[in-house]
Amino acid sequence: MPTSTTEPALAKRACAVIAPTTACPACATAYQQCCLPLHQGTAIASTPQALMRSRYSAYVLGLYDYIVATYASAERANLTVYDIANSAAQTTWIGLRVLDTKILPQSTNDAGQFYGEVEFKVFYSEAKCLYCLHERSTFVQEDGQWFYRDGVMLAGNGAVKSKRNDPCCCGSSKKFKQCCLPKIQ
Ligand SMILES: [Zn+2]
Ligand SMILES: [Zn+2]
Q: Which domain holds residue 107?
A: 7-183
Does 81 reside within a domain?
Answer: yes
Least confident of 23-37, 75-89, 103-117: 103-117
pLDDT computed for residue 154 by the predictor: 96
**Nearest ligand, measured from the Cα of 162:** 2
Single-letter amino acid, residue 138: T
Q: How far is the CA of 173 from the centre of ligand 1 (A)?
A: 20
Does 93 reside within a domain?
Answer: yes
pTM score, whole prediction? 0.87
CATH code of the domain in which 129 resides: 3.10.450.50
Angstrom distance (rounded) from CA 98 to CA 21: 22
Predicted confidence band at 16 (pLDDT cuts at 50, 70, 90)?
Answer: low
**H helix runs in 18-96, sequence order:** 36-40, 48-61, 64-69, 73-76, 81-87
Quote the number of domains for the chain.
Answer: 1
Does 2 reside within a domain?
Answer: no
For 91-140, how does the pLDDT look when each residue is reduced to its tens digit (9 = 90+)?
A: 999 999 999 999 987 776 667 788 999 999 999 999 888 999 999 999 99
3-state helix, strand, coil in the chain (%, to 5): 30, 30, 40
Q: How far is the CA of 148 from the centre of ligand 2 (A)?
A: 26
